[in-house]
Amino acid sequence: MSILGKSYNLNFNGKTLKVYINPLVARSLSSVWIQQENTTVLVTLNVKKENKFLGFLPLTVDYEEKFYSIGKILGSKFLRREGRPSESAILNARLIDRSLRPRFDKFFFWPTHITVTVFSFDYKNDPDLLGLFGASLALCLSPLPFDGPLAGVRIGILQGEKIVEPSFDISSSLDGEIIFAGDGNLVDMIELKAKEIDESYLIDSFQIANENIKKLIDFQNEIIEDLKSKPEYEFLNKKQQISFNFSVPLKIEDIVNRSLKIIEKDFGKESPGEYELDKSFAQELSEEEKSLADFLFKEKIKEEFVNYIFSKGKRPDGRDLNQIRNIEVETSVIPRVHGSAYFGRGLTKVMSFVTLDSIQQELLVKEIEFIGGKRFMHHYNFPPYCTGEVGSIKGPMRREIGHSALVEKALLPLVPDLETFPYAIRVVSEVLSSNGSTSMASVCASSLALLDAGVPLKRNVAGISIGLISKGNIENKNNWLTLVDIQGIEDHYGDMDFKVAGTNAGITALQMDVKIKGITLEILKDALEKAKKARLEILEKMNSVKSMPNKISEHAPKIQRIKIDPEKIGLLIGTGGRTINQIAQETNSEIFIDTEENYVYVICENEENLQKAMEKVKKIIAPREYNVGDVTQGTVIKFFDFGVLVELEGGINALLHISNMENEMKNKKNFGLQLGQKISVKIKEKDKLGRLSLVLV
């Protein structure tokens, strides 16, 4: 038997999923080993008991990628070890966090830490959903108030076919990939990336995912039932829900009620942070009492918020449920940058900037899931001033990294390939003002900025966020409403943030988070329908401002590439780099040879020099063909006792033999010629090897 102990096995879509529950991680509250074929993941759970009211759940999910898991020594040249989490690790941690968080008791506030460590990765079985499975089981095997089990399933779309749990090594070939997490009935989290797929694929995949999630849920329940007979898991038979069953002091109730009375019943205008506990009522409270009062006040505001929308059929800012806020669009906003665009939707305002550069400036990625270059990058910045707050500007946090990746995912399917557009591309979205769905505004601003920079996108890309409010059982259609284009208060007090980005041809990215225990298929259908209608409305406004790419900015480098025969790379470089350096100096250009893909990149500051450099490169790597009888110009490059070596147009060398010279030339030093001298010649002979003999004309 393995040191990991007894395994629980499930045949899941033709693969064996193994679960080990053992005391190896002896000091943790609970731990689970998950193995599928040769991918192995350890999940651990620990908590810190807090006897004070925090008002929120401090849940931390860390996803640890180990380089040994793929048999590589990675890291920086001077520190060959794991450092800060990679971008993919952060995104996987966020995926697990977003799936689990809605399932905790809302009165549970103990600091909770889940660690997912990838011990081995076989490039076939993605560890991310194994980590989610393990985290759910670890929580269910603990005394914590977690409403599980929970599991996730990935659906791949390839040429219209839906593939359950596609192998990791074919992921780059898929037309779409959708991840669902839920309990087999309700879905807590959805993540999608695709090449403009129709909404119907998502709806059909919802059903398929739930069928497979149920298998994983049943498997977790089997393990839990089996462990109930073991002494160390005796508590599972009478699992206590850990929560704060507190009584609210009268003075706090009084403060909350007095604060509610000063709020306008119409909820007022669009403004973030409008409804706050009146601090003047709470001066004599301790910090913990203030936290409790603030928490209860927000719960009351949420009730008022939900009741207001259900009764009035209007939003806090007076909009209809399906109405988009006023949209502002402008391109070429900032001088000197390669491309810029502004997109505003109500108080949400974003400006995006595009930089074009040589392919040498692509991002080099070394992660366990991907090692290689990344030529298209999107970065998202959310500075304190965008919410009118005081704070310090630091490096990107998990939220910024998540939004950066979501926008990048939305735009990438429309970005032209290297053959069409041989540039590295960086887009930066600066949030100037935030009041809901800045990531989707970033999609719109970035799409326009790319066109402004001259990037030939196939179509514009737009994004919109759909919200949800509910009361009671959401399986009853009368108990929920969806909201188009949610603002800050609707995001804060609402139950869902359903972000959808795409073109008029289909969806390219989607991300759904909820605060309740999942959504139904009916809610998904309604949200998708409204998101599509809103997206097309936004695209119409964007296209009226810019739908075609500009000429590339005068400030951007001019780049072309040409295929090169590997055997001619040395010819282009020349002895000691003489040839390639000479071309670069003569044309004020930079020349880069991609020896893996066999392409030559020529980079210049202006079009005139670019064409000159390309002509010189082409003459060497794609030389002119000469036939007997052709007359051309040549340059004297070397003398021999028996003749002269001449470089013809196109970089071809040919011999002017002494026997083909007039007698008066034969007796002169260097045959009366000088190095570098231009002479007119005719092709006299061409042998089987293609070597040319010349005569003077």
CATH number at residue 615: 3.30.1370.10
Among 343-352, 448-457, 643-652, 663-672, the least confident range: 643-652
Looking at the structure, tell me whether residues 332 and 476 fall in a common domain.
yes
pLDDT score of 101? 96
In a domain, 169, yes or no: no
Looking at the structure, tell me whether residues 299 and 338 fall in a common domain.
no
Q: In the chain, count H helices and then E strands.
A: 13, 29
**Under DSSP, is residue 370 helix (H, G, I), strand (E, B) or coil?**
coil
What is the number of domains present in the chain?
Answer: 5
Looking at the structure, tell me whether residues 284 and 393 fall in a common domain.
no
Looking at the structure, tell me whether residues 520 and 567 fall in a common domain.
no
Looking at the structure, tell me whether residues 514 and 658 fall in a common domain.
no
pLDDT score of 662? 86
Q: Inter-axis angle of helices 438-452 and 398-411, to 10 degrees?
A: 50
Looking at the structure, tell me whether residues 594 and 653 fall in a common domain.
no
- Closest-CA residue to 463 (of 542, 545, 526): 542
Looking at the structure, tell me whether residues 290 and 413 fall in a common domain.
no
State the DSSP string of 603-641. Answer: EESSHHHHHHHHHHHHHHHSPPP--TT-EEEEEEEEEET
Q: What is the pLDDT of residues 29-43, one digit of tens each?
A: 999 999 999 999 999
State the DSSP string of 142-177. Answer: SSS-B----EEEEEEEETTEEEES--GGGGGG-SEE
| Domain boundaries, position 71 | 7-150+216-238
Read off the pLDDT band of 281 (50, 70, 90).
low
Among 111-120, 158-167, 647-656, the least confident range: 647-656
In a domain, 486, yes or no: yes
In a domain, 252, yes or no: no
In a domain, 286, yes or no: yes
In a domain, 155, yes or no: no
Is the pLDDT reported for residue 533 higher than 80? yes
Sheet containing 327-331: order of strands: 327-331, 339-345, 348-357, 424-433, 376-381
Mean pLDDT (the chain, rounded): 91
Strand partners, 483: 467
Looking at the structure, tell me whether residues 534 and 406 fall in a common domain.
yes
Rounded Cα–Cα distance for residues 295 and 461 (Å) = 39
Q: What is the rounded average pLDDT of the residues 128-143?
A: 96
- Closest-CA residue to 357 (of 653, 603, 677): 603
Q: What is the pLDDT of residues 554-564, one digit of tens each?
A: 899 999 999 99
The last residue of one of the domains, among 545, 578, 602, is 545
Strand partners, 321: none
Looking at the structure, tell me whether residues 363 and 405 fall in a common domain.
yes
Residue 248 DSSP code: P
Cβ atoms 444, 378 nearer than 8 A: no
Task: Name the residue with higher pLDDT: 167 or 50.
Answer: 167
Looking at the structure, tell me whether residues 386 and 498 fall in a common domain.
yes
Sign of the C-alpha dihedral computed for residues 34, 35, 39 and 40 taken in this order: positive
In a domain, 400, yes or no: yes
Is the pLDDT reported for residue 104 higher than 50? yes
Q: Cα separations (Å) of 120 from 36, 85, 216, 243, 556?
A: 10, 17, 22, 37, 44
Give all strands (DSSP E) within 38-105, no chain letters.
39-47, 59-65
Looking at the structure, tell me whether residues 539 and 572 fall in a common domain.
no
φ and ψ at residue 692, rounded to 5 degrees: -110, 140
Among 272-276, 304-308, 623-627, the least confident range: 272-276
HSE on the CB side for 481, CA within 13 Å? 21
The last residue of one of the domains, among 621, 646, 662, is 621
Strand partners, 469: 481
Cβ atoms 321, 315 nearer than 8 A: yes
pLDDT score of 272? 38
The last residue of one of the domains, among 545, 572, 589, is 545
The proportion of the chain whose per-residue pLDDT surpasses 70, expressed as a percent, equals 95
Is the pLDDT reported for residue 263 higher than 70? no
Q: What is the pLDDT of residues 187-227, one digit of tens each?
A: 999 999 999 999 999 999 999 999 999 999 999 999 999 99
In a domain, 248, yes or no: no
- We report the CATH number of the domain holding residue 379 as 3.30.230.70
Looking at the structure, tell me whether residues 334 and 297 fall in a common domain.
no
In a domain, 691, yes or no: yes
pLDDT score of 264? 53
